[in-house]
Amino acid sequence: MKARTASNPSLWQRSCSLFSYFRYLRELRRQLFFAIACGILCGLSSGFGVPFILKVAAKYVFTAAHQSPLCILLFCACPFLMMGLRGISGFCSAYYTGFCGQRLLENIRVQVFAKIQRLPLEFFHKTSAGEIISRAMNDTALLQGALLDIAENILTQPITFLASVGALLYLCLQQSQVFVLILYAAAFPLIILPVRALNRRLRFKAGQVQGEAATLTERLSRNLSAVQEIRAFCMEQRETARFAEACRLFSRASLQSLKYNILVSPIIEIIAAVGVSLSMYFSYRHRIPIDTFIALTGALYFSYDPIKKLGWLATRIQTGFAGLSRIQSLLEIPESIQNPKSPVPIRELRGEVHFQHISFGYTPEQTVIHDLDWRLETGKIYALVGSSGAGKTTLINLLMRFYDVRQGKICIDGLDIRELALEDLRAHMAFVPQNPTLLSGSIGDNIRWGKWEASEEEVIAAAQSAHAHEFICQLEQGYRTDIGENGNFLSGGQRQRIALARAFLKQAPILVLDEVTSALDAHSEHAIQQAIRQLVRNKTVLIISHRLGMMAIVDEILVLRHGHMTERGTHDELMTHPGGLYRELYRKHQGILNHPSRLC
């Protein structure tokens, strides 16, 4: 027999993996214990209580003579009372189990979301948003459903089964008839075999369903993120066809999983019916009294029903493990960018940055930055210039420690940034990306990203510095205007100015601007230049720009070519280099400005 591997764990190993998530229920242990106690009571009343009450009631109602009507009514009410106890305890067990399950789902989703916040940027470059959403929502819901079913049935059904078997044993031995018990014991292995075979198929199909669900979510997510482009290129029908194909594959996988899931119940019921039929035949042959036969039939029913539910529970464990494996694969992704074990405590940084002979590559075979050494002083504005792919954005990612350098180190005020807590490091930086992200909500709330506790006056001052106050005041609700998802109600330039206001509000000693004027007109660009020049006091400003008109306010320019520092100096100094890259880029930029027809 082949040993179980990590990729093919046994049902017991899968169950243990699922059980480990019950640690999130520690704060709800009272509700969970009450749910378990009610489940045990429901199992005992079902497996032993109901058959025993049926036997007693049937004996006195059908066979006992000279009973008063009141006694008959009391005995007739006994099954009702027992079933009432069974129903109430079953309801309490199911409700409190569901209550705990909802809290469990909440905790798991929060853990997954918190993990996503700590994952390195390279993970998001390799994994689609739809896949991440599917793991955070669909897989956690699947896991929650499995955990709920396990919690509700893992004790109730075995106790019901053992109680009913005890009732069967008591009834058979009382009548000195063991045939029915032997038949029941013989039928039990017949029930297990098809369940095991179906579970193997279900485990594979459940994984397929989750994969197709992730693809479906990814299709929808990508479509929603490119609504304008899809209409501009008349891609509506193609996108609809691709989504329909994803829906068809998901439906096919779901139906196949459903087929194996629902097959368990009828197979067990058919085998159980055979056992009941044979028990009826042997009861007739051996003249078993009617009260014993009624109790025997009830015990047989309550013994087969737990087997059916346990078989179904095994399929739920398989589907739950399919979701769990995808969640665990996310939770187990190593966090390459971590806080140091003993971070250097800092209260305030001046913002002096030193790139000390750093080298970096996104893969071991690739080097994007080559032995770069550059010092940035407080109170000055610096610019990174170079062709696309030269390594400018990579340098910003290293400074903000989205990635770690391969060689050398980056220091701020003489401290290696790897010795600082990530929160402390990034709290002292304000970053404006080329394509800023705005959240659905008011303009004021989006600006307050820079400083949540900022007053209205501070928000307005930051907007004025970013040359945004004028257009905001022209809106009907001003700073309370809802801008829609990612600022869809605003122009590109307006979104960029709000992002600038957010950075200005933060008042961080290091300001990083990535193509911040790319969506601005000449007048707005000039105003922003003046605002940056005014705000540079006691700050270090680093600008990435292809629009070399920004170079008029820059104190020093670093020119990158394929990750190498090829030139360094002021605008006037670099323009004196006859064959310099900066001079070539600047002349091309000026030529385009003076002769726009050259773009055609």
What is the per-residue pLDDT for 372? 92
Structure confidence at residue 105 (pLDDT): 74
| Structure confidence at residue 487 (pLDDT) | 72
Most confident range, picked from 10-14, 139-143, 183-187, 351-355: 351-355
Secondary element (H or E) of residue 558: strand 556-561
pLDDT of residue 356: 94
Instruction: Give the mean pLDDT of 195-205.
Output: 64
Rounded to whole angstroms, how far apart are CA atoms 59 and 129?
67
Q: What are phi and psi of 182, to 5 degrees?
A: -65, -45
Q: Strands across the sheet with 429-432, in order?
A: 429-432, 510-514, 540-544, 381-386, 556-561, 564-569
Mean pLDDT of 193-207: 65
pLDDT in tens, 118-147: 888 778 777 777 777 777 777 777 777 777
Distances (CA, A) of 132 to 18, 87, 438, 485: 21, 41, 20, 20
Say if residue 9's pLDDT is above 70. Answer: no
Question: Could you count the other beta carbons within 10 Å of the beta carbon of residue 46?
Answer: 29
Q: What is the pLDDT of residue 136?
A: 77
Residue 60 binned pLDDT confidence (cut-offs 50, 70, 90): low
Predicted confidence at residue 598, as pLDDT, reads 42
pLDDT exceeds cutoff 80 at 161: no
Average pLDDT of span 368-378: 91
CA distance 268 to 308: 6
DSSP tally for the chain: helices H, then strands E:
21, 10
Query: Quick one: pLDDT at residue 516?
Result: 73
Q: How confident is the model at residue 10 (pLDDT cuts 50, 70, 90)?
A: low
Round the average pLDDT of the chain to a whole number and report it.
Answer: 76
**What pLDDT sits at residue 262?**
66
Q: What is the pLDDT of residue 327?
A: 79
- Please state, as a whole number, how many other Cβ atoms lie within 10 Å of the Cβ of residue 204: 13
- In this prediction, residue 599 has a pLDDT band, given cuts at 50, 70 and 90, of very low
When pLDDT is cut at 50, 70 and 90, the band that residue 537 belongs to is confident
> Would you tell me the crossing angle of helices 290-331 and 69-118 to the nearest 10 degrees?
10
At residue 228, the pLDDT reads: 59
Res 284: pLDDT: 67
Copy the structure tokens of residue 250.
């998901």
Burial class (CB in 10 A: 0-12, 13-18, 19+), 376: buried
- 421 three-class SS: coil
Rounded percentage of the chain residues whose pLDDT exceeds 90: 8
Instruction: Confirm if 473 and 401 have CB atoms less than 8 A apart.
Output: no
Coil, strand, or helix at residue 429?
Answer: strand
- Supply the pLDDT for residue 529: 76
Q: Comparing 445 with 318, which gets the higher pLDDT?
A: 445
- Only one residue has tokens 């010795």, namely 419
User: Which residue(s) pair with 558 in the sheet?
Assistant: 384, 568
Region 436-507: CATH code? 3.40.50.300
**Mean of the pLDDT values across residues 407-429?**
91
CA–CA dist 468, 445 (Å, integer): 14
Instruction: Report the alpha-carbon distance of residue 353 to residue 570 in Å, rounded.
Output: 18
Burial of 521 from C-beta contacts in 10 A (0-12 / 13-18 / 19+): exposed
Q: What is the pLDDT of residue 33?
A: 83
pLDDT of 186 > 70? The answer is: no
Q: What share of the chain is helix, strand, coil (3-state, %, to 5)?
A: 65, 10, 25
pLDDT of residue 16 exceeding 60, the answer is no
Provide the pLDDT for residue 510: 92
The share of the chain scoring above pLDDT 70, in percent, equals: 69
- Helix ranges (H only) for 286-391 are 290-331
Q: CA 107, 112, 116, 120 torsion: positive or negative?
A: positive
pLDDT for the residue 399 = 92
Total-model pTM: 0.66
Return d(Cα 7, Cα 207) in angstroms, integer: 13
Tell me: pLDDT of 88 over 50.
Answer: yes
Closest C-alpha among 345, 365, 271 to residue 311: 271
Residue 413 CA to residue 421 CA, distance in Å, equals 15
Determine if residue 543 is left, alpha or beta; phi over 0 gives left, psi from -120 to 50 gives alpha, anything else beta: beta
> Which run of H or of E encompasses 359?
strand 353-360
Angle at 333 between CA 331 and CA 335, to 5 degrees: 105
Evaluate if residue 452 carries a pLDDT over 60: yes
User: Which segment of 166-170, 261-265, 461-465 scores lowest on mean pLDDT?
Assistant: 261-265
Q: Which residues contact 483 (CB under 8 A, 6 or more apart)?
A: 438, 440, 441, 442, 443, 446, 489, 490, 498
Range in 37-41, 112-116, 194-198, 461-465 the model is least confident about: 194-198
Please tell me the predicted confidence (pLDDT) of residue 1: 39
Of 20-24, 29-33, 476-480, minimum mean pLDDT range: 20-24
What is the rounded CA–CA span in Å between residue 483 and residue 488? 6
Q: Is the pLDDT of residue 178 over 60?
A: no
Q: Domain-by-domain residue ranges, the chain? A: 26-331, 436-507
pLDDT of res. 5: 45
The H or E element that residue 333 is part of is none
Evaluate if residue 353 carries a pLDDT over 90.
yes
**How high is the pLDDT of residue 409?**
94
Res 593: pLDDT: 47
**pLDDT band, residue 597 (cuts 50/70/90):** very low
Query: What pLDDT band is residue 375 in, cutting at 50, 70 and 90?
Result: very high
pLDDT of residue 195: 63
The pLDDT score that the predictor gives to residue 203 is 62
Confidence at residue 360, expressed as pLDDT on a 0 to 100 scale: 92
Q: Look up residue 306 and give its two tokens.
A: 């737990």
Cα–Cα distances (Å) from 453 to 164, 427, 450, 505, 547, in that order, read: 64, 14, 9, 11, 35
**Taking Cα atoms as reference points, which of 97, 127, 116, 98 lies closest to residue 35?**
97
pLDDT at 94: 78
Is the model's pLDDT at 416 over the cut of 80? Answer: yes
DSSP symbols for 123-171? HHHHS-HHHHHIIIIIIHHHHHHHHHHHHHHTTHHHHHHHHHHHHHHHH
Query: Is residue 383 pLDDT above 80, yes or no?
Result: yes
CA distance 444 to 446: 5
Fold of 26-331: ABC transporter transmembrane region fold (1.20.1560)
